[in-house]
Amino acid sequence: MGRWEPGARERLVVAAVELFADQGYDATTVTEIAERAGVTKSTFFRYFPDKRELLSAGQELLSRLLAEGITQAPVDATPLEAVAAGLERAGEGFGPMNREIAPQMTAAIASSIELQEREALKRIGLSVAMSEALTARGVAEPVAHVAAELGVLAFKQGYAAWVDAQEDDGSGFGSFAVAALDSLREASASLS
C-alpha cells in the first residue's frame, strides 16, 4: 500500500493497536507501526508526535462534539439532559473501526501503566469539556462538575456496552452512552 493512499491516520491507529495487543506497548516501535500501516516513519510523525498519542487520537474531536451537543441542547434542558445531548453528539465520532479495534485497545491499555495514565488524562479532558460547556450555559460550577463526571462515567459504561453488544442495531454509541447515563441518574437518586 503506497504512502499516498488515503486513510493513513486510521491505518496507523489500527496497526498500533494490533501490535500493542500482540507484543505489548513497550516492545512496539514506531517503525513497526509504520511498516504494518504501509506508510513511512516520517508519515507516522506527520500524524502523531509519538506512539503514546495514537490511543488518544480523536480526543479533541470527542471533546468538541460533547461540548457542541451540550451547547445546542434546548435552553430548558436540565444539566443531565444537556450531557445526554452531548453524549448523543459524541456518538458521531464513533464508527465501525472504533468498535472493531476496541477489544485490542482495551487489552493494550490494560497491559501498560503509561497507557492507563493516558486514558485517565483523556477522561479528565472529556470531563473538562463537558463542565465548561455546562457552565457556559449558566449551570453552577459544582453542579456542572458533578454532571460532567456522571457524563464521563456514562461514556465509559456506554462504550463498554456498545463494544460488548452482540449485534449493532444501528443506533450507535450515543444511544448506549445515554442509556448508561439514565441508569446512573436512577442510581444517584437512591443516594439521598
pTM, 2 dp: 0.85
Label residue 138 left, alpha or beta by phi (over 0 means left) and psi (-120 to 50 means alpha).
left
* 36 within domain boundaries: yes
CA 17 – CA 71 distance, rounded (Å): 33
81 in the same domain as 155 = yes
CATH of residue 31: 1.10.10.60
User: Average pLDDT of 82-94?
Assistant: 93
pLDDT at 96: 79
End position of a domain, from candidates 35, 53, 71: 53
Q: Which residue range forms the structural domain that includes residue 146?
A: 58-189
84 in the same domain as 69 = yes
CA 16 – CA 166 distance, rounded (Å): 25
**Number of independent structural domains in the chain:** 2
* 1 within domain boundaries: no
Query: Cα–chain-centroid distance for residue 30?
Result: 22
The alpha-carbon radius of gyration of the chain (Å, integer) is 18
Query: pLDDT tens digits for 55-76?
Result: 777 788 899 999 999 999 999 9
106 in the same domain as 20 = no
Measure Cα distances from 167 to 39, 50, 85, 91, 186 in Å.
33, 35, 24, 17, 26
* 3 within domain boundaries: no
CA 10 – CA 61 distance, rounded (Å): 14
pLDDT at 139: 97
